[in-house]
Structure 1
Amino acid sequence: MPVLKQLSTVVIDCADPTALAAFYQKATGWEITHNDQDFASLGNGTPVQLAFVRVDGYRSPGWPDGTRHVHLDFTVADVDGAAEELLGLGASRPEFQPGDGQWIVLTDPEGHPFCLTSATTGE
């Protein structure tokens, strides 16, 4: 019997939890469920939330920097359209794009990479 029953929160270290939560709130449409200078979270009514915690002296992971780190993947109906919209919200598109066009890597305003993939990829 598994010990871990349900993933509840993906927590992302950052310099400014409020600003990063606002970016992801605009990007996902999820509601901010908590917000203060050291911690912010958002969710959409499902058991899993995104959270952001302030880390003094935080430095972004960089992309690609040769070290392993966690990143988020989002499924979207129109990858190019979603990328353009997210760039307008403050995301960046790094030059290095692996995957031969199967997905797009973006970085959030603090440099965390995340990927956009088509809803039809893998079907």
Structure 2
Amino acid sequence: MPLQMKLSAITLDCPDPLALAAFYQQATGLEPHLKSDGDFAALNREDGVFIGFQRVDGYRAPRWPEQTVPQQLHLCFDVLDLDEAEARLLELGAGKPDHQPHDATKARVLTDPAGHPFCICRD
């Protein structure tokens, strides 16, 4: 019989938790979860799940699609308009790798300011 577990948090390693939380807050509209001491920040979803960001000394950003530093985590976000979402995310500091494995009309891979790859997908 499987355990009865409920997802409560997803936490990303990064060099600057406040900066990465600000990027995702502007991108998603999620509200801050906890006050930060600079080593941890988080954003809260309405269902109680939060996305956390924790400082890691010597952090090395993932190298995608190569695996010299594995991607570690991959988030996906549904959006109504891919072009609009991509433009806004790039404005906020996201990057766009040259390698795009999906049909560009359905999904795109971007990287957050700390280098984590994430997808935006047509809703």
TM-score (structure 2 length as normaliser):
0.90
Asked whether the 8 Å contact 1:7–1:47 carries over to 2, the reply is: no
1:8-54 deviation per Cα after TM superposition (whole angstroms, max 9, x unaligned): 00000001001100100010000111222111000132121100011
Alignment-derived partner of residue 30 in structure 1:
30
Aligned counterpart, 1:118: 122
Shift of 1:4: 4.3
- d(CA) in 1 for partners of 2:71, 2:89: 24
Q: Runs of 5+ in structure 2 lacking a partner?
A: none
State the Cα deviation string for residues 62-90 of structure 1 (Å, max 9, x = none). 21123453210000001111000111111
Percentage identity across paired residues of the two chains: 51
Give the alignment of 1:6-85 within 5 angstroms. Answer: 6-34=6-34, 35-66=36-67, 67=70, 69-85=72-88
Output the aligned Cα RMSD: 1.3
TM-score, with length taken from structure 1: 0.90
Structure 1 segments unaligned to the other structure (5+ residues): none
Equivalent-residue separation in structure 2 for 1:15 and 1:89 (angstroms): 17
What is the letter of the counterpart of residue 59 of structure 2?
Answer: Y
